[in-house]
Structure 1
Amino acid sequence: MRSDRTRSELPRLAFIYSGWNSEDPPLLLAEAAEGVASLLWVLPDARELPRAVLRMLRGLGDVVDVTGLRGEAAAEVIRQHAPTGLVCCNDSYLVWAADVAHALGSRFFTPETAIRLTDKLAQRRALRDHGLPTPDFWDADELVDDAVIDSIAHRAGFPLVLKPRQGRSSQDIEALRSPDELRAALPSIEPGRMLIEGFIPDPSGASQSAGSAPYVSVEVIASDGVISVLGVTGRPPLAPPFRETGCVFPANLSQRARDDAIAAAVTATRALGVETGPLHIEVKSTDTGPVVIEANGVTGGGAIRDLIQHGLGVDVLQLAMRLAVGEHIVFEEPPSPDEVGFFFEMQPNKDARRIVSVDGLDDVARIPGVERVIPGLRAGDECSWRAGTTGFIAAVFGAAPDHAAANRVREQFYDRMSVTTTNA
């Protein structure tokens, strides 16, 4: 969507900007808002931002510094600028943004919904209460004695999955394979931080092609209670223990598996109480049907946004902005791309602790279909599986005519990279 209106004629949109590395750079955010809204940059913690970024933001719109203010107090400052709506793309500030939006009377997630979208324990409870299948789960703080641990071992078996209640990018997620490993992990757990759940079993049959993980993400847009699906994104196999290695759009699914994933995502959207806003919902295939892994109240990360824009010509962030300023957006049928977009990452081995050398990036750039090579860790950098998806060595972005061709790009990417690490 583009408009001939001047900035002063456009609705004003409060954009919660934290500078977190998962957020797009300010210039790209401003480009997404072009013709849709005049951006009001709201800074929940300006102390985190370099001066150069602050200068850039002031050149792209008005800036409001509400560092340290809680929801209602921040809303009083923001209200003076008369925003029409509000957008937040950082999970860490979603609950705070919901409190601000509630005080402003803006279209956004309710504070209760924002908690469900950011706290995986609250989310699991909401999904279970709505009748959706979930693995067994426990607040790690409640595992206080051997009797409780023995009960969990008897009920759920092993492996169990230990994960942050509030986290991103597969960080600090690990498998616990015995009661002894569970007991050893508990003393180091920070109170209120971790969730333990049963492992969602892999399907015995192939719901996706070879070279794919058994889960997908469904990209959802809710508008005044009407739920639209933009598409389903697939994943290559994970790197141990649970690190993502990229994404493929659209997913290589059978029609039935695709329909099942979409139905689970739509039901989860309603279970979490989402009326308006973007959602990124991960769904795993199992022998007994789809299981929602997690739902996030933000647009899919930078790679997914790029893949959807590349494949469909649709900017999911701009859709979120349009929703926020009052537009009603409905897709009767998910659009269909002509190509298979891919984003593949190479992760360090699980035991690696430092990168010694990285070679092959120039050769990777010459693989047909690769449009962009993204360097990650460099020689001398420390590495750890706990960094999750963000601790990658290199990544490639591009498009292929079909899924088989995309898989060949992934194989060539790994073949042409030469990486040396040390475990010390």
Structure 2
Amino acid sequence: MGGSNPTDHPAPPESPTPPAPPTPPVLLVVYGRGSATARGVLTAGRRLCTAVFLGDLGDPKVAADLAQLPKSATVVDTSGLTEEQLCDRAAEFGAAGVITFSDHLLRTAAAVAARCGVPFHDRATVEVLVDKFRQREALAAAGVQSTACRTVHSAADLGPALAATGLPAVLKPRSGAGSVDTCLVRSTAELADRYAEFTEGVASPAVFVLEEYLVSDPTVVGEFWGDYVSVESAIRDGQIRTLAVTGKLPLAPPFRETGYFTPALLPAGLADEVVALEQRALRALGIREGVTHTEIKFTPAGPRLIEVNGRLGGHVSDVLKRSAGTDLLALALRLALGAFDPPEPVLALGADCPKVAFQYFLSPPADGLAPGPGEVLDGLHHLPGVDLVDATIDPSWRADWRAGTEWLIGTVYGSVPGHPELRATVEGIHRTMADFWS
């Protein structure tokens, strides 16, 4: 007789196979010298994306940065590749986004983004972001701000350019960053000398611009503080969201930044005025995607634009994260991947921003100076609010103003309860450093 064996039991149903975790989207990082380190990008992108770094390993600084990444990181050497070859290589990764933190790589990043079909500054927008002359032209054409500016291709252009700008004027590379080879000129002779210094012995000299000097009004925020600020914004499909207004310490000659702090210290209503000007400029330049860093100066005629940068501002992410908890670098990565979730803007001290975070740059007050003994810097650790002194002392190092904001030996990091406390700490740093440079 047929039948079931009473000792037989039906097999238990198979447990369903758990779904595989979603594959993180690929973010192409067009990497070069800029406002974020490779390790910083990798850390900010953890659990968010798979970062693929496209970098020119023929550049010693870039090669050294990328060599610090774990072996599991994907690095593509772009040295020797044409733009078409680089874009073809980039397209193999099926990327969801593209980002760069380097001014001189904005054109490359735009080409890669176009090839991969992901949002980024379009090529026309990139041209006004990396070309100081074209940016001035675009802002004037849109009625945002007219600033006298002329290109200088050779010494023969100096006279006509100076006739348009008047004195004093600012001489700088047409495409550049970090105040490199940027100076104030007060006479025809000084202009000729500086231009000769920048171009002498150079096989293919850069094109420079000479532009009107924006006269400062130190009464707006007080002479102790810098006479300018930066505005950080996130833009998605043309929608602009302000992230923060960053305060500055006074420039060192000729145009070297000496430090940042967040939030800025501004009279009532001025933050709104600054943000309104910044947003008019972003729209005039056609910026529809990404994170921007816009510098604005206080003048007797009111706030005026220094320049608009189409990438994250250097050092800003650190002070904003420590003051208000906003991770601007991670936000920039999310934005590149299609998310748009900016927090409330950081404009003043309050519940959302309970302290002032700062960075002070250890740069010399004049050219040709040498660093002193390291033990002098030990005194900085005892100042109120100082959390870290990150400095490298090379006795053979000498100051060179032409290097711009790279002309420093380190940075002091810290945070304090308010702006009066920040002033006291900065004054303490000044006293300590007066005994350091020789």
Give the TM-score of the pair, scaled to structure 2.
0.86
Paired position in structure 2 for 1:381 = 397
Match of 1:163 among 160, 165, 172: 172
Q: Please give the per-residue CA displacement for 1:173-227, whole angstroms capped at 9, x wherever unaligned.
A: 1111112222333445544431111110112x62113411110000111111110
Paired position in structure 2 for 1:72 = 84
Paired position in structure 2 for 1:182 = 191
Identical aligned residues as a percent: 31
Give the direction of change, closer, same or farther, for the CA distance of 1:356–1:83 in structure 2 (3 Å limit).
Answer: same
**1:364 and 2:405 correspond:** no
**1:206 and 2:219 correspond:** yes
Paired position in structure 1 for 2:130 = 118
**Following TM superposition, by how much is the alpha carbon of 1:349 offset from its aligned partner in structure 2, in angstroms?**
2.7
Match of 1:251 among 260, 264, 272: 264
Which amino acid is the alignment partner of residue 351 of structure 1? D
Give me the whole-angstrom Cα distance separating, in 2, the residues matched to 1:123 and 1:367: 42
Give the direction of change, closer, same or farther, for the CA distance of 1:42–1:395 in structure 2 (3 Å limit).
Answer: closer
Q: Please give the per-residue CA displacement for 1:369-410, whole angstroms capped at 9, x wherever unaligned.
A: 101112145333122111222212443111111101001000
| Aligned pairs for 1:16-415 within 5 A | 16-18=30-32, 20=33, 22-26=35-39, 28-45=40-57, 48=60, 56-57=68-69, 59-141=71-153, 144=156, 148=160, 152-153=162-163, 155-190=164-199, 191-203=205-217, 206-301=219-314, 303-331=315-343, 333-334=345-346, 336-355=352-371, 357=373, 359-415=375-431
Give me the whole-angstrom Cα distance separating, in 2, the residues matched to 1:14 and 1:233: 28
Which amino acid is the alignment partner of residue 240 of structure 2? I
Give me the whole-angstrom Cα distance separating, in 2, the residues matched to 1:282 and 1:235: 10
Q: Is the 8 A contact 2:356 2:417 kept in 1?
A: yes
Which amino acid is the alignment partner of residue 195 of structure 1? V
Structure 1 residue runs of 5 or longer lacking an equivalent are none
Paired position in structure 2 for 1:15 = 29
Which amino acid is the alignment partner of residue 366 of structure 1? H
Give me the whole-angstrom Cα distance separating, in 1, the residues matched to 2:84 and 2:160: 41
Give me the whole-angstrom Cα distance separating, in 1, the residues matched to 2:137 and 2:284: 10
Higher mean displacement: 32-41 or 215-224: 32-41
Give the direction of change, closer, same or farther, for the CA distance of 1:6–1:287 in structure 2 (3 Å limit).
Answer: farther
Indicate the SS of the match to 1:392. coil
Give me the whole-angstrom Cα distance separating, in 2, the residues matched to 1:180 and 1:186: 10
Indicate the SS of the match to 2:71. helix
Q: Is the 8 A contact 2:54 2:75 kept in 1?
A: yes
Which amino acid is the alignment partner of residue 335 of structure 2? L
Which amino acid is the alignment partner of residue 212 of structure 2? G
Q: Is the 8 A contact 1:134 1:292 kept in 2?
A: no
Give me the whole-angstrom Cα distance separating, in 2, the residues matched to 1:142 and 1:377: 39
Indicate the SS of the match to 1:285. strand
Give the direction of change, closer, same or farther, for the CA distance of 1:128–1:223 in structure 2 (3 Å limit).
Answer: same
Q: Please give the per-residue CA displacement for 1:95-151, whole angstroms capped at 9, x wherever unaligned.
A: 1111111122111111121122122122111211111224211101276268626xx
Give me the whole-angstrom Cα distance separating, in 2, the residues matched to 1:195 and 1:147: 13
Give me the whole-angstrom Cα distance separating, in 1, the residues matched to 2:133 and 2:20: 45
Give me the whole-angstrom Cα distance separating, in 2, the residues matched to 1:66 and 1:146: 37
Give me the whole-angstrom Cα distance separating, in 1, the residues matched to 2:393 and 2:332: 32
Give me the whole-angstrom Cα distance separating, in 1, the residues matched to 2:393 and 2:357: 24
Q: Please give the per-residue CA displacement for 1:307-362, whole angstroms capped at 9, x wherever unaligned.
A: 11111212111111111111133446547411111111232132324445454211
Give the TM-score of the pair, scaled to structure 1.
0.89
Q: Is the 8 A contact 1:241 1:350 kept in 2?
A: no
Paired position in structure 1 for 2:433 = 417
**Following TM superposition, by how much is the alpha carbon of 1:53 offset from its aligned partner in structure 2, in angstroms?**
5.7
Give the direction of change, closer, same or farther, for the CA distance of 1:197–1:35 in structure 2 (3 Å limit).
Answer: same
**Following TM superposition, by how much is the alpha carbon of 1:289 offset from its aligned partner in structure 2, in angstroms?**
2.1
- Which has the greater radius of gyration? 2
Structure 2 residue runs of 5 or longer lacking an equivalent are 1-18, 200-204
Q: Please give the per-residue CA displacement for 1:11-47, whole angstroms capped at 9, x wherever unaligned.
A: 11111223x3743242x32220122211122224455
Which amino acid is the alignment partner of residue 279 of structure 1? T
Give me the whole-angstrom Cα distance separating, in 1, the residues matched to 2:75 and 2:232: 30
Indicate the SS of the match to 1:227. strand
Q: Is the 8 A contact 2:229 2:295 kept in 1?
A: yes
Q: Is the 8 A contact 1:161 1:196 kept in 2?
A: yes
Q: Number of aligned residue pairs: give it.
A: 411
Give the direction of change, closer, same or farther, for the CA distance of 1:145–1:82 in structure 2 (3 Å limit).
Answer: closer
